[in-house]
């Protein structure tokens, strides 16, 4: 009998194409503070990064504690308001997750975003009942590229890290999964292969991937 396999998904850029809407929310957030980051700066310093990093980088001072909570809430509330009418899963992910579940894979989501964002997306993407672990920014002390969120997800699912496959789209997220000793599928929604650490497999979307693909990575 095969050992159990766990598949853990990041959320932004992996379950849904949210990054353009995060960019819009941050542009609005920074505009009222007389800041106008370029697309290149967003690509380098926003995608896959925690809000504490993003805000500290662009505001050019350490943002932490109560101020971080307030600013994060302001920006993420903007994001949810902007994105809610447009929520749509990346092509094929719902059928892929059903295929994984049918074949006995344990499933989880591990995001650097706040739990309210995860709740919003799971209210529109019908995968919640198949997930055995949900991890958001509130659930960890150390953010990606630290492996904490993925190691905790593996523990929640009862599967050893070396039997886990992570779907990630960002440099810091892929680094976190590699630091956890997991296999990684790079989702090329925000970056090219060349911009990311080496992954075990790459996809543009989920239309041509199955449980058999995942099994073949071991």
What is the full per-residue pLDDT of the chain (218 aa) written as tens digits?
A: 348 999 999 999 999 999 889 889 999 999 999 998 888 888 888 877 778 889 999 999 999 999 999 999 999 999 999 999 999 999 999 999 999 999 999 999 999 888 999 999 999 999 999 999 999 988 998 988 999 999 999 999 999 999 999 999 999 999 999 999 999 999 999 889 999 999 999 999 999 999 999 999 99
Q: Is 12 a catalytic residue?
A: yes
d(CA 12, CA 143): 15
Q: Beta-carbon neighbour count of residue 99 at 10 Å?
A: 18
Q: What is the pTM of this model?
A: 0.91
| Residue 46 CA, distance from chain mean position | 12
d(CA 33, CA 51): 16
Residue with tokens 């509330």: 77
d(CA 149, CA 151): 6
12, 73, 99, 205: the catalytic one is: 12
10, 99, 146, 162: the catalytic one is: 10
**Per-residue confidence (pLDDT) for residue 99, from 0 to 100:** 97
Q: Is 162 a catalytic residue?
A: no
Instruction: Quote the tokens at residue 50.
Output: 């925690």
Q: How far apart are the first and last CA of the chain?
A: 14
Among the listed residues 53, 52, 49, the one whose alpha carbon sits nearest the alpha carbon of residue 19: 49
Domains of the chain listed by start with CATH number: 6-17+88-215 (3.40.50.1000), 19-85 (1.10.150.240)
């Amino acid at each position: 009998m095969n050992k159990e396999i766990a598949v853990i998904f990041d959320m932004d850029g992996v379950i849904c194409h949210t990054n353009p809407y995060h960019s819009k929310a941050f542009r609005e957030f920074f505009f009222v503070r007389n800041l106008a980051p370029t697309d290149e700066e967003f690509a380098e310093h926003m995608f896959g990064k925690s809000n504490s990093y993003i805000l500290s980088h662009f505001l050019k001072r350490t943002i932490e504690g109560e101020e971080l909570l307030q600013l994060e809430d302001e920006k993420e509330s903007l994001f949810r308001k902007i994105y809610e009418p447009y929520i749509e899963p990346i092509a094929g992910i719902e059928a892929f997750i059903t295929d994984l579940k049918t074949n006995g894979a344990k499933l989880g989501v591990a995001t650097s975003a706040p739990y309210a964002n995860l709740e919003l997306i799971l209210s529109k993407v019908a995968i919640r009942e198949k997930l055995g672990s949900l991890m958001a920014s509130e659930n960890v002390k150390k953010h990606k590229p630290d492996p904490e969120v993925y190691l905790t997800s593996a523990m929640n699912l009862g599967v050893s890290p070396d039997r886990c496959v992570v779907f990630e789209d960002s440099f810091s997220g892929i680094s976190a999964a590699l630091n956890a000793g997991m296999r990684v599928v790079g989702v090329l929604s925000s970056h090219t292969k060349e911009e990311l650490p080496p992954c075990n497999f790459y996809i543009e979307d989920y239309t041509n991937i199955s449980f058999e693909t995942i099994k073949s990575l071991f």
